[in-house]
């Protein structure tokens, strides 16, 4: 499912500098297959109701293979963390290269970041309930948020450097505001909304950007 | 635990027009006692790990008494919904009376609304995990959010009427932005923050108000 707002394909996992060999490629494919099967099942049944056996069956791999990749079910969620961090880092590279306006970089990122959890309300609910009831999942997610915020602060600082983002706000505070906008939107949407996630993300980004942009940043 | 930002005592449950009799008062006290004991246990053990037996023991009431008030453990959370709605309605009354600036009404409300769930990160996590893994809890919370947003839209509209809030934003969108700010802050704070909730709520409100206020609204 590609977002209409996404402009560049984002690699699923961080790519090393040189192209991977066949063995490494195969490894990644299997890891991704397990991850995709797990997310589908979490969405259908919930995180706690899904067993590793169901995941291996759905992914069509052996139980032994599963445990070669992930020590436990909750570790599958670390793939999601990698995906999200890869997207935020891609935004940082774009911001530092300076080919796109900061508005466009952050606008695309809002939708990119929400894409994985936002595949369905059921999936977002499953992920949130895992985060808030399992200490290991929560601490993985907390680590992702902290790292993500640091990278976001670099993106914001690049925007301040280029005069598109208000210089009077701290980059760290604006990075927090960005995360708050996305997290708050996913939270409200997963809880109740009959309205499409994209519409609510658009409102959230519009509010964020209205508060963050300089006059120059607003003109596009 | 009273917030330093709170300015008026908020009644725990909606008060009827005339003072309640002794029997009704006793009833409310018992209901509140059960609610408080439940919240303490949810915070200490988690929502799903807490049994009704533990709640009745902690509240020092019989099991029969518990079920006189609540059909099940999850129904205890409806008291939290009432508390939150009572606070939002109190803000609406203040906004309509026009004695305080809209800035002050909404600023106090951000902290009031976060007060119950924000008693500890453990409690917020317990509440969020209950919301996202139990369909009955989620639908109660969703109903609260929808009702809350309607009342908030009246508060916002009063601010637009008085020239303190931008007339170009839809009241419903600004009500959504208010909820997004509070929900996003609680979400990020419960997940990871070592920083006090009040500090993050202040940033969230400052950003919200910067986006919502007219020049007149900003001057206080």
pLDDT digits (tens, 9 = 90+) for B159-173: 999 999 999 889 999
CB-CB contact of B209 with B107 (8 Å): yes
Residue A195: pLDDT band (50, 70, 90) is: confident
Report the SS3 class of residue B39.
helix
Name the residue of chain B whose CA is nearest to A48's CA: B133
Q: Rounded mean pLDDT of chain B?
A: 89
- Chain A contact set for B132 (CB, 8 A): 125-126, 128-129, 132, 190-191
The predicted model gives A177-196 an average pLDDT of: 91
The predicted model gives A182-204 an average pLDDT of: 91
CB-CB contact of A73 with A55 (8 Å): yes
- Chain B contact set for A181 (CB, 8 A): 180, 184
pLDDT at B122: 92
CB-CB contact of A127 with A77 (8 Å): yes
Q: For residue B39, what are the contacts with CB-CB under 8 A and spacing of at least 6?
A: B80, B116, B119, B123
Of residues B125, B141, B188, nearest to A180 (C-beta): B188
End-to-end Cα, chain A, rounded Å: 28
Of residues A183, A185, A190, nearest to B188 (C-beta): A183
Reported pTM: 0.87
Question: Is any Cβ of chain A less than 8 angstroms from the Cβ of B177?
Answer: yes
Mutate to test the interface with A, among B133, B144, B173, B190 (most CBs of A within 10 A): B133
pLDDT at B70: 94
Between chains, do B142 and A200 touch, taking CB under 8 Å as contact?
no
Per-residue H/E/C for A125-193 = HHHHHHHHHCHHHHHHHHHHHHHHHHHHHHHHHHHHHCCCECCCCCHHHHHHHHHHHHHHHHHHHHHHC
Range A75-218 classified under CATH 1.10.357.10: yes
The predicted model gives A121-132 an average pLDDT of: 94
Question: Is any Cβ of chain A less than 8 angstroms from the Cβ of B122?
Answer: no
CB-CB contact of A92 with A155 (8 Å): yes
Question: Is any Cβ of chain B less than 8 angstroms from the Cβ of A169?
Answer: no
Report the complex ipTM: 0.86
Measured CA to CA, the distance from residue A90 to residue A87 in angstroms comes to: 5
Residue A92: pLDDT band (50, 70, 90) is: very high
> What is the b/e burial string over A45-70, where b = at least 16 CB atoms within 10 angstroms of the residue's CB?
ebbbebebebbbebbebeeebbeebb
At the fourth CATH level, the homologous superfamily of domain B22-70 is Homeodomain-like (1.10.10.60)
pLDDT digits (tens, 9 = 90+) for B10-36: 445 555 556 778 999 999 999 999 999
**When comparing pLDDT for A185 and B220, which is higher?**
A185
Res A212 pLDDT > 90: no
Residue A4: pLDDT band (50, 70, 90) is: very low
Helices (H), chain B: 22-45, 52-59, 63-69, 77-97, 102-115, 121-133, 135-161, 171-192, 197-212, 215-218
pLDDT at B3: 40
Whole-number Cα distances in Å, B204 to A38, B48, B95, B172, B195: 35, 31, 21, 18, 14
Between chains, do B180 and A181 touch, taking CB under 8 Å as contact?
yes
What are φ and ψ of residue B189, in 5° steps? -65, -45
Residue A176: pLDDT band (50, 70, 90) is: very high
Domain with CATH 1.10.357.10 in chain B: 75-218
Burial class of residue B152 (count of CB atoms within 10 Å of its CB; 0-12, 13-18, 19+): buried
**Would you give per-residue pLDDT tens digits along chain B (220 residues)?**
334 444 444 445 555 556 778 999 999 999 999 999 999 999 999 998 999 999 999 999 999 999 999 999 999 999 999 999 999 999 999 999 999 999 999 999 999 999 999 999 999 999 999 999 888 899 999 999 999 999 999 999 999 999 999 998 899 999 999 999 999 999 999 998 778 899 999 999 999 998 888 888 886 5
Domain with CATH 1.10.10.60 in chain A: 22-70
pLDDT at A17: 55
- Interface A–B counts its CB contacts (< 8 A) at 103
Of residues A125, A145, A180, nearest to B204 (C-beta): A180
Res A6 pLDDT > 50: no
pLDDT at B185: 96
pLDDT at B217: 82
Helix (H) / strand (E) containing A107:
helix A102-115
CB-CB contact of A122 with A190 (8 Å): no
Q: Residues A63, A65, A69, A74: what is their CA dihedral angle, to the nearest 10 degrees?
A: -10
Between chains, do A191 and B125 touch, taking CB under 8 Å as contact?
no
Question: What percent of chain A lies above the pLDDT cut of 90?
Answer: 75
pLDDT digits (tens, 9 = 90+) for A131-166: 998 888 999 999 999 999 999 999 999 999 999 999
pLDDT at B80: 94
């Amino acid at each position: 499912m590609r977002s209409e707002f996404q402009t560049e394909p984002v690699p699923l996992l961080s790519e090393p500098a040189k192209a991977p060999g066949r063995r490494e490629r195969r490894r990644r494919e299997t890891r991704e297959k397990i991850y995709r099967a797990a997310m589908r099942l979490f969405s259908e049944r919930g995180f706690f109701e899904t067993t590793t056996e169901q995941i291996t069956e759905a992914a069509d791999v052996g139980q032994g293979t599963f445990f070669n990749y992930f020590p436990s079910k909750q570790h599958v969620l670390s793939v999601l963390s990698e995906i999200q961090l890869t997207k935020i880092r891609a935004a940082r590279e774009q911001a530092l290269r300076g080919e796109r306006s900061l508005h466009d970089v952050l606008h695309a990122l809002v939708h990119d970041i929400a894409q994985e959890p936002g595949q369905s309300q059921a999936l977002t609910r499953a992920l949130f309930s895992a985060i808030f009831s399992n200490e290991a999942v929560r601490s993985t997610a907390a680590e992702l948020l902290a790292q993500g915020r640091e990278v976001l602060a670099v993106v914001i600082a690049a925007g301040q450097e280029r005069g598109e983002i208000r210089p009077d706000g701290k980059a760290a505070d604006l990075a927090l505001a960005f995360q708050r906008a996305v997290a708050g939107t996913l939270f409200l949407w997963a809880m109740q909304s009959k309205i499409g996630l994209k519409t609510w993300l658009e409102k959230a980004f519009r509010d964020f950007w209205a508060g963050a942009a300089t006059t120059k940043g607003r003109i596009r």
